[in-house]
A and B are shown apart, each in its own frame.
Chain A
Amino acid sequence: MTIAVRTDATQPKDDGLPLVAAIIWAFGALCSIIACFVMLSSAPRDTSVGGFPWFGAGLHLTGVVLAYFGTRVAKGSHPSSAGWALLVSFFALFGGPLGFLAGVACYLFGVGQPTEMPLVDVVKAEMFVRTTAHSKVEQAGAFDVQLREELRTQPIVDLLPYADVATAIAIINKLADQRKRGDLIMLRELSQDRRPEVYQFALSRLDEFERDYATRIYHLKEQLNYRPDDVGLRVELAKVYYDYTNSGLLDDSLEDYYWEMTLAQLFEAMRFESNRQDLVVDMARLFLMRQMYREAEAAVDDVLRKEPANLDAQLLMLECMTERAQIEGDPALLQQARKRALESAWAIKLPRSQEQHPLFKVAQYWFGRTRTSEKAAPHA
Chain B
Amino acid sequence: MQCTAQVESGVAILHLHGKLDAVSVADFREEAQKQVRSGYRRMVLDFAQVDHVDGQGLAGLVAFYRRLTVEHKGRLAIAGLNPELRMFFDRTALTRVVPVAYEWQEAAREVRS
Contact (Cβ within 8 A) B93 A298 = yes
Within 8 A of A (CB), among B67-113: 69-70, 87-88, 91-94, 96-97
Q: Is B1 an interface residue (CB 8 A)?
A: no
Which one of A259, A269, A302 lies within 8 Å of B63 (CB-CB)?
A259
Chain B's nearest CB lies how many Å from the CB of A20? 43
Q: Report the interface size for chain B: residues with CB under 8 A from the other chain.
A: 20
In Å, the complex CA distance between A264 and B25 comes to 11
Majority DSSP secondary structure for residues of A touching B: helix
Which one of A263, A274, A302 lies within 8 Å of B62 (CB-CB)?
A263
Known: A264-B55, A264-B56, A280-B93. A271 touches B88 (CB 8 A): yes
* A267-299 interface code vs B (CB 8 A; 1 in, 0 out): 111110010000010011000001110110011
Chain B's nearest CB lies how many Å from the CB of A227? 15
Besides A265-B55, A270-B91, A274-B87, 9 other CB < 8 A contacts?
A259-B63, A260-B63, A267-B58, A270-B55, A274-B91, A280-B92, A292-B69, A295-B93, A299-B93
- Considering the complex, give the chain A residue whose CB is closest to the CB of B70: A291
What are 10 A-B pairs with beta-carbon distances under 8 A? A264-B60, A267-B55, A267-B58, A270-B92, A271-B55, A292-B66, A292-B69, A294-B97, A295-B94, A302-B93
The 9 closest A-B CB pairs, nearest first, are A268-B55, A267-B55, A264-B59, A299-B93, A263-B59, A298-B96, A264-B56, A298-B93, A264-B55
In Å, the complex CA distance between A271 and B90 comes to 11
Majority DSSP secondary structure for residues of B touching A: helix
* B37-70 interface code vs A (CB 8 A; 1 in, 0 out): 0000000000000000011101110110010011
In Å, the complex CA distance between A286 and B73 comes to 19
In Å, the complex CA distance between A284 and B91 comes to 11
Q: Is A261 an interface residue (CB 8 A)?
A: yes
In Å, the complex CA distance between A266 and B93 comes to 13
- Considering the complex, give the chain B residue whose CB is closest to the CB of A238: B55
- Considering the complex, give the chain B residue whose CB is closest to the CB of A300: B93
A contact residues vs B (CB 8 Å cutoff)? 256, 259-261, 263-271, 274, 280, 283-284, 290-292, 294-295, 298-299, 301-302
- Chain A residues with CB under 8 Å of B97's CB are 294-295, 298
Which one of A267, A294, A302 lies within 8 Å of B59 (CB-CB)?
A267
- Chain A residues with CB under 8 Å of B87's CB are 274
- Chain A residues with CB under 8 Å of B88's CB are 271
- Chain B residues with CB under 8 Å of A299's CB are 92-93
Contact (Cβ within 8 A) A292 B70 = yes
Contact (Cβ within 8 A) A290 B70 = yes
- Chain B residues with CB under 8 Å of A274's CB are 87, 91
Chain B's nearest CB lies how many Å from the CB of A284? 8
In Å, the complex CA distance between A268 and B54 comes to 7
